[in-house]
Structure 1
C-alpha cells in the first residue's frame, strides 16, 4: 500500500519565536494527492482465541489493536527463548561474545534439556563444542532446551547468572510484568510473563536485532543425523509470516508468538494457554488476518526530512531544521488517515549550541483525542554558538521581550 496520503493540512507547532506559539504547516507528503481515500469501515470485533491470554500488537507503534488478559501473568514456556536470543544478540553487539565462539554442550545442559528429558532438544553431542551460531539456531529452530542451557552457561557462566542478565535486559526493553528464572521456559516458580510483554519482546528483537530474528523463519535445521522442523506451522501456511516462537508445557498449554509483514505493515500476535497446536495456529492466523484487513500503516514523515524550522538564539545560524531520526509510521483503522492530527511540541526557547541529532521536542499523532504514536523531534544539523557580540545582542533581545 502507499505510505503517503495528502490531507494532513496543518500541524499545531509550539515554536520559539520570542516565546510565542506559532502554527506552522507540515510539509505535505509528495505524490499522494491523486490517491483516493479508502472507505472508512467500522472495525468489527476481533476473532476470539481459545486461550488464557492473547494480544495483537502493531509493530510500528507498539499499540495494542486487540487483546484479552494482556497483563495477566502466565507461564511463557519456550517463548522464553526469544528473550534468550535477545540477550545473546545484545552481548554479541557489545563484543562480549563472538559468533564463532565454541559453545560446549555440557553434561548439565545435556541432562537438563537433552534427549532424555520430556522437552524439546537440539541433539548436539554431550561434552563436545559447537559454534555459537549453530547452537543458537538449534535453540531457535528446534527449540532445543539443551542448546539454551549451553548458551546461557557460555555467556554468563550459569543459568542463574544468565537469568539475571535476562531480567536486566527485560527492564531495559520495558517489560513490566515479566520475571525470568531460566533461559528455556521449562516450568519454574516465579518464571512468568504476560501477552503484552511478550509482544513487546518480539517487537524489540525484530527492531534491534533483525539478523537474530531472521533465524526464526528457518523451517528446519539439522544437527548430526537429526533434522527437525520449526514448530511454527504458520511459516508454511502464510508466506507473510516470518517468525517467531512456539511454546508448550502441560502447565502453560500451547503458546505461539507470531509476526507477519504485508507490504510496509507488520503485526505481532501472541496466544497463550491454548488447547492444541491446531488451535493456537488457527487463532494466530485469524488474528493476523483481522488486523491486516481492518488496519493500515502509513508513513507520515521519512527519516532525515525537514518537518519544521526552529528559531535558535545566540547561534551562528538563526534557525535549525527539525525532523525525525527514524521514519514515523502509524497504524490506524482503514479509511481514517485524513482524521489524524499530528502535533509538534518544541521548547519556547532554544539556545545554541545545538548538536546534530539533539532532541528538541516531540511529534505526537492524535486520533479521536488519543495519542496513536509519538517520536522525538531532533535537530537535523548542528548550530554552533555565535560570536560574542551576537550573543550579547540576542541576550538583550531576549531580556526585552521577556
Structure 2
C-alpha cells in the first residue's frame, strides 16, 4: 500500500521534493552484476531497475551498430530509401569490412549491388562491417560524415554523451557511449520501428552461400529475448544489449566490459531474470490525473495543474523497505501566458542512487495574463502537493 510519507519541498531551482511511500517487499537490491557497466531498463515505465557505472563513457564496439541501424530506419521512414534500394559494395567497404578483413562480415562481393533489406540483415544479424560501411557510404558519401549523422540523430533523442566516429564500432579513441544511453537508444528503436526491429531477433542469415547465426546468445535462451546486439573489441571487452518480454513486460539489458562471451551471456541473462522476478508494477496516477501544480507569475491564475501524457506507473522491488524519492522539477514560476499541453516540468523518481522514473509533465490548461493587481500579488512561490498526497494514500 502506498502510505502518506510525504514531505513538502521548498524552492530549489524550481524543484518540489516529496517522498513516495516505503514499499515493503525481498532484498531486490542485494543483486550485484559482475559487469563493469550495466543497466536494466523497464521499457513500459522507463524505470531503471539496476545500474552500475551507467553514465560512464565506454567503448561500444559493435553495439554502435544499433545507432547505424537507427539512421537506416529513419531513412526508410522519411522515404529516402526502401528495403529494395540497392547499395553498392565499394572496394573500401570490402577491404575494411569484407571477408579479406578478418572481422565480422556478411561476405558481400566487391562492386556488387545489394538491396537495403539484405544489408540490414547483414548489419544486424551477422554484425557485418562491410554492410555498415556500404550503408554509410550510400547515405552520407563516406563513413566519417555518416558517423556525424549518427551522433546528430542520437542527440535529437536527448542522448548527450554518446559520440560516434564510424558505422562499424571499430576501435577509435573518440568513439564512446554510456550504458544508459544505449538502453534508451534501444528502447527508442523498439518502440518507433517495431517491424524493422524484428530483424534484431532473426536467428540466422545466409549471404554469398555462407550461413551465419545471430551472435546474440539471449535469443537461444527460453527467457523471451527478441533482439539487439553484441560487441567486442580489445578496448571494450565483451558487451551485450538485449531485450526480452514476459507477460507483456519488456526489459532492456546492457552489460559491457566483460572478459569473455560466456560471462557476457551469463550476466545478461541474470539481470533479465532478476528484473522479471524481483519487481512489481504500481500505478501512481491514472491517465489525465493531476500529478502536481506549477506556480505561474502574472497569470489570471497563480497555479497550473500538471499531468503526464498517460498513466504514471512505477516498478517497485518486491520485499524492499526502501523509500522512493520523487520530485517535480521545473524552472519557475512559469511566466504567463501559459499554453495548454506545454511541456514545462519533469517527474523524477529515484530509489537510492538509481533513477527509476523520469517523465515529462504538461500543463493541463492554459493560463492567460492576469490583471495588474493579480500580477502584483504574485510574490510567493508555493506548490500544492495535495494531489500527490492523495495518490500516495491509495492502496
Q: What is the TM-score when the length of structure 1 is the normalising length? A: 0.74
2:46 is aligned to 61
**Structure-1 separation of matches of 2:193 and 2:187:** 10
User: How far, CA to CA, are the matches of 2:206 and 2:230 in structure 1?
Assistant: 19
Question: Hey, what's the Cα distance between the residues in 2 that align with 1:192 and 1:128?
Answer: 32
Mapped contact 1:300–1:329 kept (Cα < 8 A): yes
Query: Unpaired segments of 5 or more residues in structure 1?
Result: 1-5, 15-21, 27-36
Distance 1:303 1:113, change over 3 A: farther
Residue aligned with 2:103, SS: coil
Return the offset for 1:346: 7.4
Secondary structure at the residue paired with 2:229?
A: strand
Task: Verify: 1:396 aligned to 2:391, yes or no.
Answer: no
Pick from 140, 144, 148: which aligns with 1:160? 144
Question: Highest Rg: 1 or 2?
Answer: 1
> How far is 1:84 from its partner?
0.7
TM-score of the superposed pair, with normalisation by structure 2: 0.76
Aligned to 2:71: 87
3-state SS of paired residue (2:171): coil
Matched, 1:117 2:101: yes
| 2:387 match | none
What pairs up with 1:98-247 in 2 under 5 angstroms? 98-175=82-159, 177-223=161-207, 225-247=209-231
Q: Relative to 1, partners in 2 of residues 1:349 and 1:293: Cα closer, same or farther, differing over 3 Å?
A: same
CA RMSD in angstroms, aligned pairs only:
4.0
Partner Cα distance (2:204, 2:317) in 1? 36
The number of residue pairs the alignment matches comes to: 369
2:316, 2:137 → 1: CA distance? 44
Aligned match of 1:283 in 256, 260, 267? Answer: 267
1:131 to 1:70, Cα distance in 2 relative to 1, 3 A:
same
**Separation of aligned partners in 1, 2:5 and 2:33:** 39
- Where do 5+ consecutive residues of structure 2 fail to align? 10-15, 380-395
Q: In the TM superposition, what is the alpha-carbon distance from 1:131 to its structure 2 partner?
A: 2.7
CA distance in 1, matches of 2:332, 2:262: 57
Q: What pairs up with 1:43-58 in 2 under 5 angstroms?
A: 43=28, 45-49=30-34, 53-58=36-41
Alpha-carbon distance change, 177 to 120 in structure 1, aligned in 2, over 3 angstroms: same
Deviation at 1:280, TM superposition (A): 1.5
